[in-house]
């Protein structure tokens, strides 16, 4: 435990832990980090909140072997979920009542145009996050619930919002605007916001580090390929283009989302197929992408089926990779000079066949993958292009929680060192 003497001479605990919360509609993921060395003290997940089959998985990481504890049975709501997580942490001597806890960092999906930086949450900030619910109806309500719940648990602590959209607010206007009537767009805040920004920021910085250069010196294309997937073009550390738009539906083929389609498909489904707006929403967000094309959204299963000669799985894979290639080409043109193409997230970090197929045939763009390097499995950032390649191809594991903890701690530390009072306890419950 780190301590510092107070004016009175007694020892006060220096708060250097950050709790990171990622609250989804029916789940809460949490990590407790020690910012002395940025290590994890514990990680956990509460899923299926509100159902009879709720489950909490908690792994303390302070001892030798990390052993996951499991709780099953109904966890009624987010407040109960966080309370259960707090109990698990307390059982490991990591209770949230500890004076070592400096702040709670929240992943907030939509920050609109206003939030370009991590922000200490006040009543006014929370009101603004609520105002963005119409453009993020699936995500922001859960994030708000998480913030209110955490605030009730530790009203004295600073709560920080780290926005998925923030990294993309540097996009030039000509990249962010849709070519639709300006008045209509502005009246309804319709524009391209982009998501996964915390990951794109972290991975593009790490990629520069891997190249031994400063972020300001390199242009990078980041391919975040998880269940949700997005690409970004990052020039000298600033995002200049990204594939997700008003919502996380635009862009690449994803696990269950279509990505780019002709918007007239939606009118057609309504007028000709007689589907309602909600049904179309579910179709494009939940029943499309890889799952819509072949019935599976896990790339491991799709590759297994391809190996067995399954043609639908093969076509789904080809459509997925074709879209990726289009974005790599488009973003090469946007950036002019590319120093690295970087794969990250579940598929990007683990699927050598996706990486190989996405880069195949792009030699004219200076892109080549070395089969041997691509086959290596590792949790570390690494190059998979041969030495002679003009453009580096890399795999960089993403770490959104670490990025949220870093940003949260920096903000709280900054505010404190500048002698400002970090606002706390201003959130209505």
Please give the positions annotated as active site: 164
Of 305, 393, 294, which Cα lies nearest the Cα of 341? 393
| Least spacing, CB of residue 398 vs ligand ADP, in Å | 7
> Which residues of the chain form contacts with ligand ADP (CB under 6 A)?
226-228, 255, 297-300, 345-347, 350-351
Output the CA–CA distances (angstroms, integers) from residue 20 to 5, 55, 108, 373, in the order listed: 28, 19, 11, 34
CB 256 within 8 A of CB 297: yes
CB 290 within 8 A of CB 253: yes
What is residue 119's DSSP assignment? E
CB 21 within 8 A of CB 98: no
| Least spacing, CB of residue 390 vs ligand ADP, in Å | 28
Helix, strand, coil % (nearest 5) of the chain? 40, 20, 40
| Least spacing, CB of residue 344 vs ligand ADP, in Å | 8
Q: Is the dihedral of CA 124, 129, 135, 141 positive or negative?
A: negative
The nearer residue to ligand ADP, 290 or 393, going by C-beta atoms, is: 290
**Rounded-to-integer distance, Cα 424 and Cα 158, Å:** 5
Output the CA–CA distances (angstroms, integers) from residue 29 to 57, 104, 224, 250, in the order listed: 10, 13, 19, 25
List, as one string, the DSSP characters of 154-166: -TTS-EEEEETTG
CB 427 within 8 A of CB 151: yes
The three-class DSSP label of residue 348 is helix
CB 118 within 8 A of CB 166: yes
**Rounded-to-integer distance, Cα 139 and Cα 170, Å:** 22
Helix (H) or strand (E) holding 294: helix 289-294
**Rounded-to-integer distance, Cα 225 and Cα 221, Å:** 12
Of 222, 105, 238, 121, which Cα lies nearest the Cα of 175? 238
**Rounded-to-integer distance, Cα 284 and Cα 249, Å:** 8
Q: Find where tokens 């209509």 sit.
A: 184
């Amino acid at each position: 435990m780190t301590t510092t003497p107070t004016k009175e001479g007694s020892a006060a605990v220096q708060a250097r832990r950050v709790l990171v919360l990622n609250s989804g509609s029916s789940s809460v993921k949490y990590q407790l980090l020690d910012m002395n060395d940025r290590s994890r003290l514990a990680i956990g997940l509460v899923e299926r909140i509100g159902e009879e089959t709720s489950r909490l998985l908690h792994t303390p990481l302070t001892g030798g072997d990390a052993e996951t504890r499991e709780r099953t049975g109904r966890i009624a709501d987010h407040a109960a979920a966080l309370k259960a997580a707090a109990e698990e942490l307390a059982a490991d001597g990591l209770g949230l009542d500890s004076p070592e806890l400096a702040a709670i960092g929240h992943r907030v999906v939509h920050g609109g145009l206003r939030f370009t930086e991590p922000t200490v949450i006040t009543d006014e900030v929370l009101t603004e996050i609520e105002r963005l619910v119409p453009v993020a109806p699936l995500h922001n309500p859960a994030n708000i619930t998480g913030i209110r719940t955490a605030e009730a648990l530790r009203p004295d602590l600073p709560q920080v919002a780290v926005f998925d959209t923030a990294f993309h607010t540097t996009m030039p206007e000509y990249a962010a605007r849709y070519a639709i009537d300006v008045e209509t767009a502005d009246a309804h805040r319709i524009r391209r916001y982009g998501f996964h920004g915390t990951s794109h920021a972290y991975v593009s910085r790490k990629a520069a580090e891997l190249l031994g250069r400063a972020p300001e010196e390199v242009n990078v294309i980041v391919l975040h390929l998880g269940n949700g997937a997005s690409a970004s073009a990052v020039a000298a550390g600033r995002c200049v283009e990204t594939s997700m738009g008003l919502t996380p539906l635009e862009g690449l083929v994803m696990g269950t989302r279509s990505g780019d389609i002709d918007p007239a498909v939606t009118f057609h489904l309504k007028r000709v197929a007689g589907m309602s707006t909600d049904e179309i929403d579910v179709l494009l967000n939940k029943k499309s992408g890889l799952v819509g094309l072949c019935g599976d959204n896990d790339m491991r299963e799709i590759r297994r089926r391809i190996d067995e000669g399954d043609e639908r799985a093969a076509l789904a894979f080809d459509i997925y990779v074709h879209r990726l290639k289009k974005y790599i080409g488009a973003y090469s043109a946007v950036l002019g000079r590319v120093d690295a193409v970087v794969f990250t997230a579940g598929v990007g970090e683990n699927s050598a066949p996706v990486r190989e197929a996405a880069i195949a045939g792009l030699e004219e763009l200076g892109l080549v993958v070395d089969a041997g390097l691509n086959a290596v499995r590792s949790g570390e950032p690494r190059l998979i292009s041969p030495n002679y390649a003009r453009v580096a191809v890399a795999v960089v594991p993403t770490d959104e929680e670490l990025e949220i903890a870093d940003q949260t701690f920096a903000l709280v530390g900054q505010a404190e060192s500048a002698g400002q009072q970090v606002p706390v306890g201003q959130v209505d419950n």
